[in-house]
Structure 1
Amino acid sequence: MVPEPQEVRRALLERLLKRLLHPDPLYQELLQDYPRRGGKMLRGLLTYYSALAHGAPEEAALLAGEGLELFQNWVLIHDDIEDGSEERRGRPALHRLHPMPLALNAGDALHGEMWGLLAEGVARGSLSPEVLLEFHQVVRRTAYGQHLDLLWTLTGRLDLTPEDYLRMVAHKAAYYTAVAPLRLGALLAGNTPHPLYEEAGLKLGTAFQIVDDVLNLEGDEAYGKERAGDLYEGKRTLILIRFLEEATLEERQRAMALLRLPREAKPEEEVRWLWERLLASEALAWAKGVAQRLKEEGLGALLPLLKALPNQEAARVLVGLLEALVERRA
């Protein structure tokens, strides 16, 4: 019988915290901080159920799920530092609680633990070298997507198109969120991943990120991140890009003047003005429509493949998690 997602979350968290034990209490606190904050562990869950659905052993499924959660946490620490974020999962970001160099070092440590866990799995025969290569692909693609995202903000670039955004997100968020769990599931079972896993997974992962951008504007306390933080950080979201395309000349110039300012120089009243304009704009509904279309296309392509997998009980949970990924129900 396939365990419930909540049970798998607990198992993954216990494994993470055990791996991150250390005799130095401050160092341990830094390493365990983000894992302890109660994230949904969607990537770890998707990897676990994808692996079981493909017929992989449970220990391999847990190992790979734990590895992807370690990736998620060190990437979030680095991302928060690079973006100057204030909050993560409803609390101050790690570099706001501790000196930034200590937070950065904690992210580096989690990165190292990820590779150590995977190397141990290969040495014991639980994981194949192909799994290591997939994690390398995750790191290299995410890093390039982050490069684009940061570059646009640092250079003040605002002549972006929706296609630019979709390309950036395909690398930064979509691959590790949806593509990698599907591919890892096949690899853990000794199979070659189906080519559609990447095409459909990118659509689902991109839809996830668009919804994340929407929630940054509309979200309540349950969202867990600073409301309108994307505007303070100058994020070039699909909503913002569409708004700038459709705005009047006066609105566009006012928004661009604000977005080119560093976070600490952005007047709160101007951020509120742009936030309210985005909420009232056609761009918000349009972006939601793009996310819905991508979700339907992605799931439509995946369902026939997932219905043919050997463990249908796990496959059904996997489908539910993929749906919840975009709808934020998990």
Structure 2
Amino acid sequence: MRPELLGLIYELLPETHSRPELQHFYSLLRDYPARGGKGLRSELLLLSARAHGVAEQSSQWQSALWLGAAIELFQNWVLIHDDIADDSEERRGQPALHRLHGLPLALNAGDALHAYMWAAVERAGVPGAMGEFLEMIHRTAEGQHLDLTWVASGEWQLSETDYLEMVRLKTAYYTVIVPLRLGALAAGTVPSPLFTPAGEALGAAFQIRDDVLNLLADAGGYGKEIGGDLLEGKRTLITLHWLSGAPPEQQRLFLHEMARPRGEKDPQMIARILDWLRESGSIDYAQRFADEQGADGLTELRRALMNVAQPETAAQILQLAEGYVTRRA
């Protein structure tokens, strides 16, 4: 994340209070933002603003920075809630907030950051920005509901189409589509309708890469626990593809293990399942699928950016988007 965005976030968030309990609350609000993060979404938004003609140091640029701060606040409150919903252990290389301070305090901190997100949107003063944030929240919540419902109900009879619908809602809107659109709005420009199909494909590729990294990445650079998706019983393209052709006994053992609560899962069985997935070819299949989605998304994005005011910055957007779909960390 750009340092100036963290500065704007800190400008919004309260810092000190004479009452110790509220001083603790303020520290919770700053915890996830202070942990950093790549800032991919805010960077995409700012590049989109520049590509559409916003000059740095202008009042429009300041508005774009506030929108970038708002999307970072969105990311942080959603991650707090997501970690609670998934009962995750880690976030950005440290214990998840609810692991450090308990579920009620973490949930309340996430709620408060949600409110500060809207304060940042208001500071931006960009017409149409509130509608974009509402769209982003609605679609992300729908995707999260699908994801959580499948886990809660034990549903594994799912197709690739089901998975893609979920990730296009849960990931694509806040990772690609809305940042691109917000950048255009900051420039006073009508966003290209091609941002949606481009973002849906790129968002799917981004999420599939994340699913792969969760099984293969080096723990030191990933920032989340390796194999956490298996412990949480996440439905991924990898597991769905593997289940469709796995030996019956492996299927039985897998489904039995996935039906157990996270805290009761057998580490040795999880390790065996991870070996089955790695040996099956399903991870390679997911990588190829991500490559195809990424190529489709980049093609649509090139078309969307064909006539923007700053072609040089459009090339940077394409480079960043390509990094989304080829990332290894």
TM-score for both structures, normalised by structure 1: 0.93
Q: Which residue of 1 aligns with 2:57?
A: none
Q: 2:2 aligns with which of 2, 5, 9?
A: 9
Shift of 1:50: 0.6
Q: Deviation per CA, 1:239-277: give whole Å up to 9, x if none.
A: 000010010111111111111111011111111111111
SS of the aligned residue for 1:246 comes to coil
CA contact (8 A) 1:204 1:298 kept: yes
| CA deviation string 1:101-127 (max 9, x = no partner) | 1111110010000111212333xxxx1
Could you list the per-position Cα deviations for residues 48-106 of structure 1 after superposition, in whole angstroms to 9, with x for gaps in the alignment?
11111112321121111111111000000000000000001111101011121111111
Structure 1 residue 307 displacement after superposition: 3.6
Kindly state the Cα deviation for residue 313 of structure 1 after the two structures are TM-superposed: 3.0
Question: Mind listing any 5+ residue stretches in structure 2 that lack a counterpart?
Answer: 18-22, 55-59
Say whether residues 1:118 and 2:121 are aligned partners.
yes
Q: Which residue number in structure 2 is paired with residue 36 of structure 1?
A: 34
1:179 is displaced (CA, Å) by 0.7
Task: Measure the CA separation in 1 of the matches of 2:13 and 2:245.
Answer: 49
CA distance in 2, matches of 1:301, 1:186: 16
Report the alpha carbon displacement of residue 329 of structure 1 after superposing the two structures with TM: 6.9
Aligned mates of 2:50, 2:322 — CA distance in 1 = 18
| Unaligned segments of structure 1, at least 5 residues | 1-7
Return the letter of the residue paired with 1:12: L
Task: State the Cα distance separating 1:191 from its structure 2 match.
Answer: 2.1
Query: SS of the counterpart of 1:22?
Result: coil
Per the TM alignment, residue 18 of structure 1 is displaced from its structure 2 partner at its CA by: 2.6
Identity %: 47
Aligned length: 318
* 1:62 pairs with 2:65: yes
Of the candidates 43, 50, 72, which is equivalent to residue 75 of structure 2? 72
What's the offset of the Cα at 1:41? 0.7
C-alpha RMSD over aligned residues: 1.4
| Cα displacement (A) at 1:300 | 1.2
User: Is residue 62–residue 124 contact of structure 2 (8 Å, CA) maintained in 1?
Assistant: no
1:55 alignment partner, SS class: coil
Name the counterpart of 1:89. 92
Match of 2:20 in 1: none
Q: How far off is 1:33 after superposition? A: 0.8
Between stretches 63-72 and 179-188, larger displacement belongs to 179-188
Shift of 1:312: 2.4
Q: Distance in 2 between matches of 1:114 and 1:277?
A: 42
> Aligned pair 1:290/2:294, yes or no?
no
Q: What's the counterpart of residue 3 of structure 1?
A: none
Matched, 1:240 2:242: no
1:153-172 to structure 2, matched below 5 A, reads 153-172=151-170
Query: Would the aligned equivalents of 1:52 and 1:61 in 2 still touch at CA under 8 Å?
Result: no
Map 1:238-277; keep pairs closer than 5 Å.
238-277=237-276
